[in-house]
Amino acid sequence: MTANFCNNCGHAVEHRVPDGDHLPRAICPACSHIQYFNPRVIVGVVPEWEDGRILMCRRNIEPRRGLWTFPAGFMELDETTAQGAAREAMEESQADVDVHSLLAVIDVPYVSQVYMVHRGRMRSPHHGPTPESSETRLMTEAEIPWDEIAFPTVWHSLKYFFADRAAGTPQIHTLSLSRKSRDPRHQEVSTGEPLSSF
């Protein structure tokens, strides 16, 4: 992830370590603007209906089209992580969700992402398909398709959610995923630039 041209003035950039910095950056020799590239936050929520079922979405977009997830996507400017999670729930599943507590913080360094997954309560039973989700479905724990989960972050978050609920002790879980330690079928994939892929 870097830049060829200055996004301020359009001049070709140079890559070098700025004074007082420690890593090479994309620096504009014409206007001195520096472009930084930093990890991105993915905000998600496990939406729970009052009968205990949770809302799952079948991905209608790459990567992992056809596999299942709860609503999650890239955090936007000017919002909190909880606001972002509620926005994603509406965009991906039409669900109005009260996002109420943090469930898991998961580092995915090999794609420079941090997942912040929340618990949420559906304010109404309404949900439905969207451009991002070909199908949305309320599921009991027994109905979760564990072998068809889109990402390991989602898989781990769901395990945390159900374990905490069974124990009656909601917690905030932290986890770092490493590429090497996972079954290749369960690798996170870099989504590159397109935000819309989440």
Distance between CA atoms of residues 165 and 160, nearest Å: 8
Q: Indicate the residue among 132 and 188 with the shorter CB distance to a second copy.
A: 132
β pairing state of 72-74 and 68-69: unpaired
CA max distance for the chain: 61
| Of residues 70, 151, 166, the one with CA closest to residue 117 | 70
Minimum CB separation of residue 143 from a second copy in Å reads 29
The residue from 40, 53, 165, 186 that contacts a second copy (CB under 8 A) is 40
Query: Could you give the dihedral angle defined by the CA atoms of residues 90, 95, 99 and 100, in that order, rounded to the nearest 10 degrees?
Result: 180
Contact 71, 35 (CB under 8 A): no
Token output for 101: 């507590």
Minimum CB separation of residue 12 from a second copy in Å reads 7
Which among 4-12, 48-56, 121-129, 162-170 is the span making contact with a second copy, rule CB under 8 A?
4-12
Token output for 88: 């994603």
Q: Contact between 38 and a second copy (CB under 8 A)?
A: yes
Which among 108-116, 120-128, 134-142, 150-158 is the span making contact with a second copy, rule CB under 8 A?
108-116
- Residues of the shown chain interacting with a second copy in the complex, contacts defined by CB under 8 A: 1, 3-13, 18, 20-23, 25-26, 33-41, 61, 74-83, 91, 101-102, 105, 107, 109-110, 112, 114, 116, 131-132, 172, 174, 176, 193-196
